[in-house]
Chains A and B, each alone.
Chain A
Amino acid sequence: MNDVLRPHPLCGVFDDGDSLYVARLPDGPIIALDEVSALVWRAAGTGSRAEVIATVAEATAEKPDAIAQHIHAFLDDLINRGLLVAAPVPDDAP
C-alpha cells in the first residue's frame, strides 16, 4: 500500500499556487482540487501514501490512523480517474 505516487503523464495540472485544477488529457473533465484535496495532490506528487497521510495529518491536526482510510480512498479515486499513477517503492529505497 506504500506506493510512490506521481501525476500520470497524460494528466494536465494547472497549479498557480492559489488554485489547482487537474484533467485527464485529452478528453477531460477538469477537476477542481481545493484545500485538503489540493494538499493531498501536492504531497502525492513528491512522496508515498504514508508521506501523504503524514502531511495531511500534520496540517489538519488529526491522527494519521483517523484519516488514513479517507486519504487512501481519495488517492485510489485519483488513480482510477487516470490522474495519478502508483509504483511500488523500490527495494533499495532509503
Chain B
Amino acid sequence: MIDSAPGVPSARPVPAVPGRARLALSRAAVQVIADGLGARLLHIKGDMVDPTLRPAARPGSDVDVIADPDVIPALHRELLVHGWSVYSTFRFASSFEHAQTYIHPVWGHLDLHRRFPGIGLPDQAAFEHLWRDRISRDVCGIAMNTPSVDAQLLILVLNAARNGGTMPEQWASLDADGQERMRRLIALLRAEVAVAAVTGDLDRYRRHREHLLWKVTVHGGPRIVEWWARIIAQPTVRGSLRVAAQAPLVNTDRLTRRLGREPRPREVVGEFFVRAVRGLREGAALVARKVGRR
C-alpha cells in the first residue's frame, strides 16, 4: 500500500469489487493464464454475449469458457499454480459432465467447459468448428475470443434447454437466411435433440440416445432414471460402463462443501449408504407409480 498524505492519490486493494468489474478482470486473468500455455479459449455467456442477442447487459455471476479439450489437463495444472482451486469436478458437476468449476479468492468462480451440453459432436471436433468462426474481443485490455454470433445464439438456446427456459427472443426474429444458418449449425454440431427440448419437439427424437437425458433435464425425474439416462446417453459402450461404474459413488465434491473440509473415509462410507437408501426409495416410488398407472 501507498502511505498517502491527505489529498494525495492512492491505490487501494478492495475487498468488495462490483461484480461487473471483477468478472471482466477475472476473464482477463484466465485468458492470460491460457495465453501463457498457448491454449485456445472461447469465452461464453454473461458479458461476452453479443449485444445484438442480449440488449440488456447481464454480466452473470461467474466466468465461463470453453477450452480446447486437448489442453485442459495443462490448463488445470496452471490454474492451480495461480491460486485457483477445484470447486466441483467434471464428474460430479452435472449430468452432462461438461464443466469443472474453480474458485479463486480474488477472481471468484470459473466454469471451465470441455463441451457445451446439447452439442452432440465429439468435443474436439465441436471446439474446432466453434473456433473456426470465432470473434475477437478486447476485455480490460486483453485480447480474447468468443464463438460466432450464431453459435452464441445456439448456446443461449441450449442453456435455456438445460435450465427449463424459453427460446431467446432473437430466435423468433431470425429472417429466412438466419433460420437456414441456424439449421445448418444445429445439424453440424448435432444439437437437434437439445434444441427440440426447448421447442417442445422432444418426442420426435425418442430413438436418440440423448432423448431420455433431455427429457429428465426438462421435466425432472427420480435420481435412478437420471443415472440411467446418463448411462444410455454415452456415445460409446466404454463411456456407458464408466458412468455406470460411478453411479454408486459418493459425490465427494458436494460432501466436502457440506462439511467445509475434506471428508474422512468413514464419512464417505456413511454417505454411500445414505445415497443407497435414497436411491432404493426413489426406485421403489418409480415402480409404484408405474404399477399404479396400469
Interface residues of B (CB under 8 A from A): 2, 4-5, 7-14, 17-18, 20-22, 24-25, 28-30, 32-33, 36, 82-83, 106-107, 140-142
Contacts and interface: CB of A to CB of B under 8 A. Distances in A.
B140 A74 contact: no
Interface string A25-48: 111111111011101100000000
A4 B107 CA distance: 31
Given A12-B25, A21-B17, A78 B11 contact: yes
Given A12-B141, A12-B142, A73-B2, A31 B25 contact: no
A86 interface: no
Contacts of A71: 9
Nearest to B14: A32
A39 B9 CA distance: 9
B8 A25 contact: no
A25 B142 contact: yes
A26 B10 contact: no
8 contacts: A7-B141, A11-B141, A14-B20, A30-B25, A31-B11, A32-B14, A37-B10, A71-B9
Contact of A12 (B12, B20, B29, B33): B29
A interface, over-half SS = mixed
Contacts of B141: 7, 11-13
B24 A30 contact: no
B108 to A, nearest CB: 11
B175 to A, nearest CB: 33
Contacts of A36: 7-9
A28 B141 CA distance: 15
A56 to B, nearest CB: 8
A56 B9 CA distance: 10
Interface string A67-94: 0001101100110010100000000000
A30 B8 contact: no
- A-B pairs, 5 with minimum CB distance: A28-B106, A37-B9, A12-B140, A12-B28, A26-B29
A70 B30 contact: no
Given A28-B29, A71-B9, A77-B11, A14 B2 contact: no
Contacts of A39: 9
Nearest to A23: B25
Most buried by A among B11, B18, B29: B11
